[in-house]
Each structure stands twice: as C-alpha cells, then as structure tokens.
Amino acid sequence: MSNESTLVLIKPDGVNRGLIGKVIDRLESTGLKIIGMKLISIDEELASNHYSEHKDKPFFASLVDFITSSPVVALAINGEGAIQKTRTIMGVTNPLDSSPGTIRGDFGLTVEKNIIHGSANEEDAKRELKLYFSDEELIRYERSIDIWTE
C-alpha cells in the first residue's frame, strides 16, 4: 500500500438530503485526511469530461442532468491506500447491492442517485483530481493523529 490521493464527490442527492456531514464523518473517521474541499456547481462540460468513460451508455444523459442539477461537495482525500479504502467505505455502485455499513448501503436507494463518487483507480484519481482542484488548492499538512494512521 502507498500514500495516495483520490477524488470524492458528495453528489446532488447527498447535498440536498443533508448528508454532507455524515459522508465526511465516515471518511474522516477511518483516518483518511481531507486535503481539499469545496462546494461547487458542475457544468455540462465538466460533467461530460468527468464521466467520459460512460458517454456511450444509455444512462449518460440522465447522469449528466443529475450531477449538474444542484451543487456537489468535492473532496480531495489522502492516505494509505486512499483510493481502495474510499471505494470500500462507499460500497458498490447500486445501493440495492451495497452492504449495510457502507455509505451507499446505508443512505442510497437508486443506482443513479447513489450519494457519492470516488475515483476507481490511480489513473482515474490523478485525472479527476485535476478536473476539480488546482495544485494550490491541495493543502499538504501534518495532523497530530497522523502517527496513528501510517
């Protein structure tokens, strides 16, 4: 495992349902570190770019409509194995299949409105972090608890 960074979005359903705090709590409680955070509106260009791997899927237009419908919280998350750890905390894509104890399993109901996005792998994480954060917006800092999480 190595120290790595990943992109998380709290999607419009998470923001509108008042779940920002709960989602951040789940991530932070594991020891993962927030190194970037902002509330933003995603425009169609950013949405299409972010989800370009899905551009030929039948749900693409609906997904772009959904993710641009209302603000999202973008988080840059850092830590040992942060990419896989975040995916594990999120649960699988369809909340009907996600285990209890995961964010999607506990809070989500539909495959589209599934509360949270997290980068799938190292290549996606690098690409997606650049879409949402400039280098200056990623803050490197030491926390006193870091000796317990490394």
Positions touching ligand IDP (CB under 6 A) are 54, 59, 63, 93, 111-112, 114, 117, 120
Report if residue 111 touches Mg ion, rule: CB under 5 A.
no
In angstroms, rounded to a whole number, what is the distance separating the alpha carbons of residues 71 and 76? Answer: 16
**135 phi and psi, to 5 degrees?**
-55, -40
Q: In terms of CB distance, is 52 or 149 closer to Mg ion? A: 52
The CA-CA-CA angle for residues 112, 114, 120, to 5°, reads 95
Where in 63-92 is the site for Mg ion (CB under 5 A)? none
Amino acid at position 98, single letter? S
Which of 117, 118, 125, 129 is catalytic? The answer is: 117
Shortest Cβ contact with Mg ion: which residue? 120
Q: 79 pairs with which residues across the strands?
A: 4
Report if residue 120 touches Mg ion, rule: CB under 5 A.
yes
- Least Å distance between CB 117 and Mg ion? 7
- Confirm whether 117 is a catalytic residue: yes
Q: In terms of CB distance, is 32 or 125 closer to ligand IDP? A: 125
Q: In terms of CB distance, is 124 or 137 closer to ligand IDP? A: 124
Write the burial class of residue 113 (CB in 10 Å: 0-12 exposed, 13-18 middle, 19+ buried): middle
Q: At what angle do helices 82-90 and 20-29 cross, to 10 degrees?
A: 130
Q: Give the interface with Mg ion as residue ranges (CB under 5 A).
A: 120
| Active-site annotation, residues | 117
